Amino acid sequence: MIIAVASGKGGTGKTTVATSLALSLPDVQFLDCDVEAPNSHIFLEPEFTDETDAVINVPEIDESLCDGCGICQDICEFNALTVIPGMNGQQSNVLRFDSLCHGCGACTVLCPQQAIHEVPRTIGTIRFGHSTNLAGETIDVIEGTLNAGETLSPPVIRDLKSQTDLGKTVIIDAPPGTSCPVVASIRDADYCILVTEPTPFGLHDLTLTVTLTRELEIPVGVIINRSDVGDAAIEEFCYKNDIPVLLKIPFRKEIARAYANGIPLVRQFPEYRSHFNALFEPLEMMEG
């Protein structure tokens, strides 16, 4: 089954939860989909053995076939192509803005002159490796990284997720927010764990994320991190919306200190291992 760990707000503890699950459960494949800032490797310390390019297919235009009709420009939703009409008998010219291209392929399909073909453009890297869980078993770790300066992470996330091994318990560490990268990360998940904190910011962004997961029809449960600071609004929200609170992690200086040293929660505090195992059991039964 596929379990995604997400949260609207950044810094709530997604990676803490995702890596703790990965270290506690057997037979895990871990996908770090936070490709703009993948940091699960700090806690899982995988040994990476292989890597591939993450690519997006962008149009290349054969100017000798192009008659400057402008259809490619008109159909491009993201204005990645600009046709400069030929002046004074000169050939028209198509300017390509790769950073705007989402790689949908519409221009290639719809060019009446068949002057467009697609070429891969590297926008990131996918790394493959292995780590070891608390029981000494192997965790498959795959991590995506979006190259600096690139703006489109969903293609990297899709490339990364194409490696999903459904024979394993797949843990997805999603990026923060509620926009396209998150949709790309959590889509197809069987269950989504939403990590939040009991602050007005935590509640606001949790509300947005629940709206998103409802739209995607993914069942959710909530983990409240730093649960003994702030107010009770998160629990009230969960109660009203029939969302189970799976776990509460109190604020402890020792937890923060372990995190700051890159030590996974379940390694420093072995009692959490049973907490994470316990919250996984009903999910597994739901799948069964």
Partner 1 sequence: MKICIPAKGETPNAQIDSTFGRCQYLLFTDTENSTTYQHENTYREDNSGVGTQVAQAVLAEGAEAVLSREIGPKAQEVLKAGNISAYRVDDMDIRDAVEKFKNNELDPLY
The residues that touch partner 1, with contacts defined as CB under 8 A, are 76, 78-80, 82, 84-85, 87, 93, 95, 97, 100
The SS3 assignment for 231 reads coil
CB of 44 to partner 1, least distance (A): 35
By beta-carbon proximity to partner 1, the closer residue of 44 and 76 is 76
CB of 72 to partner 1, least distance (A): 13
By beta-carbon proximity to partner 1, the closer residue of 101 and 222 is 101
By beta-carbon proximity to partner 1, the closer residue of 82 and 268 is 82
CA–CA distance, 60 with 70 (Å, rounded to integer): 15
CB of 131 to partner 1, least distance (A): 38
By beta-carbon proximity to partner 1, the closer residue of 152 and 182 is 152
CB of 87 to partner 1, least distance (A): 8
The SS3 assignment for 151 reads coil
CB–CB of 184/161 below 8 Å? yes
CB–CB of 259/265 below 8 Å? yes
By beta-carbon proximity to partner 1, the closer residue of 76 and 206 is 76
Long-range Cβ contact pairs of 69-72 (< 8 A, separation 24 or more): 69/112, 69/113, 71/107, 71/110, 71/111, 71/112, 72/107, 72/110, 72/111, 72/116
The H or E element spanning position 234 is: helix 233-240
Cα 275 to its chain centre, rounded Å, is 25
By beta-carbon proximity to partner 1, the closer residue of 152 and 171 is 152
CB of 105 to partner 1, least distance (A): 17
| Cα 223 to Cα 112, 142, 151, 270, distances in angstroms | 53, 24, 30, 18
Q: Give the contacts of 136 (CB within 8 A, at least 6 positions apart).
A: none
CB of 211 to partner 1, least distance (A): 21
DSSP conformation letters of 172-204: EEPPSSSSHHHHHHHTT-SEEEEEE-SSHHHHH
By beta-carbon proximity to partner 1, the closer residue of 151 and 261 is 151
């843990």: which residue's tokens? 171
CB of 61 to partner 1, least distance (A): 14
The amino acid at residue 190 is: D
